[in-house]
Every structure is written in structure tokens, then in C-alpha cells.
Structure 1
Amino acid sequence: MSHNSLLLLIPWGLQAEEWKVAGDEQFAPYSFVTLDDDQPRGLDVELVEAVMHEAKIPYSLRLYPWQRVKRMLERHDVTMAFQFVGTPERMQQYELVGPIRTGSTVFMTTEKTAIADWRSLDDLSPYVIGQVRGYAYQADFDKADLRRDSSAQNPRQLVSMLLAGRIDIIVGDRVQLMYFVREQRAEQSVRILAKSLVEMPRYVAFSKGDRDRADTFAAALARLRDAGVLDTLYQRWQ
């Protein structure tokens, strides 16, 4: 199929228009900016960029604080945002496409906390659990009557609070939490409870009703997945 034929498959009007794409600036190693050059980096950044190139759609991609990312999408200031969890609430709010990858959400603690593992959320009730303000984790956990500390603005701060002994347990993506633990050379100070909270698929989100763009992105994502391109990117960041 020729390049021109491929363009005919994209709804006219989406071809030349630049998509504004936003992601979380403090979600390393999935999306982050470095102080030296302010360039978006990370696994999810590379995944999204690969899909946009495959779809042959012009775009600009910038990273912001997560709460601002959500507001920008709600106000239609951006075309698309990433990386959302696929909760029922999020599925009602947005057109979700993906998943672009799946991460394991876990509980991390230190030797100062007696808990060995957990079977039900009630097992966590004696402890103060740290989570990032504005994040959704898993439906039952999000609704559970637990003692929470939501003062952390980002996962790096959450890890620092755990290491400082300010909270008992933190919740988050396994790869990400360990990235920040290694950053502080504190691997020997933490432990991850064996039972995961959930295997959490991550999605890109479009405004509700924006089906044409969502379908265009989904088709390009599927082509890259089938070609093995996504697996190659995943392995680079493991």
C-alpha cells in the first residue's frame, strides 16, 4: 500500500493538524524531564512517539505536573494525554486507547514495619499508607477505609517520605518505585510485599467523543505491537 493510500485511511482533517500531547513530568522511568535539557524522556514517551510516527501525524509532546495534565485534557487544551489507569471512572471520563503497557502496582515498606504480607485490604488498616495526590490506583483500594497520607506531589517525594520514616507503607508502580529507591541508593532499606495490588494497564486518553483520533492512534498502536516494535522499546527500559 502506498503512502498516499495510507493517508486516505486517516479521516481528512486529522492529517495535517498538529496534535498536542501531554504526559506526567515526574513519572520516571516512564516519563520525565532532565534538568540539563528539559527534554521529555522515558519508556512511555518513546512508546507514544513511536505510535505518532507510525500514524504519520504531526505532534508536539510536553510533560507537566499530573494534575495539570488532567485539567488540560478536560479543557481541550491538549489533544491527547498519557498515562492513565483504566479504572471505570476514567473510562467514563475519557476515550481510553491501549494499553500501551502494563505495570505492577505494589506496596513497599521498610524493616520498621512489622507487616510481612497482606491478604485483604483490612490487613493494611493498622498502617499509614502514602500515595500521590490525585493518583488513582485500584477501585477497591481507592474506596477502602484506610489511613492515608496523600501529601506527596509525586512518586519521588513518596519514596523519600518512606525512607525518612514519615509513613509506614507506600503504594505505586514497582519499576518506578525501585527507580527512585536506586536513585537514593537505598535498595537495602526497603522491601516490596509479595502480593501485588493489581497489574495495571496504562492508557492514552482523548476527550470523550473524540473517536476519530482515538481510532487512528489505536490502529497505529496495533500495527507496532504486531510488528514487535513495542517489545523492543520495553526491553530497553527494564
Structure 2
Amino acid sequence: MLLFCLLLGTALPALADGWRVVGDEQFAPYSFQYGEDRQPRGLDVEVVQAVLREAGIEYQLRLYPWARVKQMLALGDAEMAFQFAGTPERKAQYELVGPLRSGATVFMTTRKIPLADWHRLEDLRPYVVGQVNGYAYEGAFDRFELVRDSSAQNPRQLVAMLLAGRIDIIVGDRLQLMHFVREQRAEQQVRILPRPLVEMPRYVAFAKGDSARAQRFASALQRLQRAGKLDAIYRRWGL
């Protein structure tokens, strides 16, 4: 019992002082695991790390499946999570800080599908639209009645389903979808519809009411953005 108490005592300060930060493990090139030791990498990982350093915050950063990221934040197993879409629903759920960046949410299809572009959501009704389970994209689109396939657990799987002909259209971040298409050397097989669904800002999230941590991160982010100190990260990853 004494040994247990001593071990507990040495563990508590790290948990009390450091932030447990979690993000999506399948959101390349923004966040993904690399190498045999599965180190977090990506544009958003680098931005988050830079802001935490600027704020003088000790932290542990890990990447998990998206459903687990949201669960960890909800259960208090993480102090901060990224990268959340800036939808009204998310703003009602969390303390959102940012945006870290913005990205175009687009529709991608194959050259076999005759749809040249879309103007109203009704234009998508004849098709099976694939999306990642648990992702929020844009309020009107999320609520609109469409034939949807939400069986994909991550964007890489979503792209694979499109290339296999299991679904007609997929929705997602332009830079990310093209990253996975290039992995498959399938650029000639796909088309991105010209009109984007939305230019979607991406945020970090804290539990609702955790305003102290949110403000500390926000202040550091604003300092770096005003000084242009994040621009090199954005350029390096092609944003």
C-alpha cells in the first residue's frame, strides 16, 4: 500500500500540471502517425505544438480514432482535442478556440459519374454520398435528406470506397482527400466538383465551461498568428 501511494504521489503532479491533448489519427496531412514509434505528425500537430510551447504549457499529445477523441474529451480523459469543424452544433457542445486554419470542404466523385457540378443539395439526391462516421461537415448538408453511406471510419477508407465504386460521391477536406488519392496514384480517376460545400475553419476544443484553458490557448495562438510565426508551417504542408 505504501509503494502504491508513493507511485500515485509521483504521478499526480504530471497529470495535474500537464495537458492531455488528443487529435485524429487518420486526418493526414493534418494529423497522422508516422514511423515505427507512431509519432504524431502533420500540419495541425505542428501548429498545436507551437501554440502550446508559446503558452508555456506542458503536455502529452496523442492521436486516436476520431470517435475516441470525442469520447475522451467528453469523459474528462483529455483537456484539449483537435481538429473540430466550426459548426453551430460544435460551438454549442464545446469551448472552441481558433481557427487554427481553414480548409475547403468539397465533393469528390469519379469520372464515371456524370455530375459536372452541384448548385443545390437536391442535385446530390440521385447519388450515394459517402462520409466519415461521426464527422460534421456543414449544418444544412448534415441535416439534408440524402442517400448516405457513413460506414467509413476515416477519410482514407472513404477514398478507397469511392475508388472501388461502392459509393458515388464523397465529401471532405480538399487537401486531405487529394492526399489519399495520391497515395493510390489515382489522380486520373477522380474529379472534385468545382463548387465547394463550405470553407470550413478548424478549431481546438475544450470541455464546455473550461474557459481558463481555452483563453490561455487562445492568447498564445493570437500572438503567433499576429507575428506571422505559423506561416512557415502552413507553407511547408502546402496550405
Instruction: State the TM-score, normalized to the length of structure 2.
Output: 0.92
1:157-177 Cα deviation digits (max 9, x unpaired): 000000011100000000000
Q: C-alpha separation between the residues in 1 aligned to 2:148 and 2:214?
A: 35
Residue 110 of structure 1 and its aligned partner are, at CA, apart by 0.6
* Counterpart for residue 9 of structure 2: none
Task: Indicate the SS of the match to 1:229.
Answer: coil
* Counterpart for residue 188 of structure 2: 188
For residues 125-144 of structure 1, what are the structure 2 equivalents within 5 Å?
A: 125-144=125-144
* Counterpart for residue 75 of structure 2: 75
* Counterpart for residue 39 of structure 2: 39
Residue 35 of structure 1 and its aligned partner are, at CA, apart by 4.5
Q: Is 1:179 aligned to 2:179, yes or no? A: yes
* Counterpart for residue 84 of structure 1: 84
- The one-letter amino acid of 1:166's match is R
* Counterpart for residue 158 of structure 1: 158
Q: C-alpha separation between the residues in 1 aligned to 2:187 and 2:229?
A: 31
Q: C-alpha separation between the residues in 2 aligned to 1:166 and 1:227?
A: 46
- The one-letter amino acid of 2:60's match is S
* Counterpart for residue 220 of structure 1: 220
Task: Indicate the SS of the match to 2:129.
Answer: strand
* Counterpart for residue 147 of structure 2: 147
Aligned residues: 224
Unaligned runs of 5+ residues in structure 1 are 1-12
* Counterpart for residue 210 of structure 2: 210
1:33-91 Cα deviation digits (max 9, x unpaired): 02522100000000000000000110000000000000000011100000001111111
Task: Indicate the SS of the match to 1:181.
Answer: helix
Residue 98 of structure 1 and its aligned partner are, at CA, apart by 0.2
* Counterpart for residue 10 of structure 1: none
Residue 234 of structure 1 and its aligned partner are, at CA, apart by 0.3
Q: C-alpha separation between the residues in 2 aligned to 1:40 and 1:97?
A: 21
Q: C-alpha separation between the residues in 2 aligned to 1:126 and 1:230?
A: 42
What is the root-mean-square deviation of aligned Cα atoms in Å?
1.1
Unaligned runs of 5+ residues in structure 2 are 1-12
Q: C-alpha separation between the residues in 1 aligned to 2:200 and 2:104?
A: 6
Task: Indicate the SS of the match to 1:63.
Answer: strand
Q: C-alpha separation between the residues in 2 aligned to 1:177 and 1:36?
A: 24
Q: C-alpha separation between the residues in 2 aligned to 1:96 and 1:26?
A: 21
* Counterpart for residue 104 of structure 2: 104
Q: C-alpha separation between the residues in 1 aligned to 2:166 and 2:112?
A: 11
Task: Indicate the SS of the match to 2:200.
Answer: strand
For residues 18-57 of structure 1, what are the structure 2 equivalents within 5 Å?
A: 18-57=18-57
Q: C-alpha separation between the residues in 2 aligned to 1:122 and 1:230?
A: 39
Question: Percent identity of the aligned residues?
Answer: 70
Q: C-alpha separation between the residues in 2 aligned to 1:48 and 1:57?
A: 11
Task: Indicate the SS of the match to 2:112.
Answer: coil
Structure 1 stretch 212-221 or stretch 222-231: which is displaced more? 222-231
* Counterpart for residue 119 of structure 1: 119
Residue 103 of structure 1 and its aligned partner are, at CA, apart by 0.5
Q: C-alpha separation between the residues in 1 aligned to 2:187 and 2:35?
A: 24
- The one-letter amino acid of 2:78's match is V
Q: C-alpha separation between the residues in 2 aligned to 1:137 and 1:35?
A: 30
- The one-letter amino acid of 1:214's match is A
Q: C-alpha separation between the residues in 2 aligned to 1:24 and 1:158?
A: 15
Q: C-alpha separation between the residues in 2 aligned to 1:111 and 1:163?
A: 10
Task: Indicate the SS of the match to 1:29.
Answer: coil
* Counterpart for residue 3 of structure 1: none
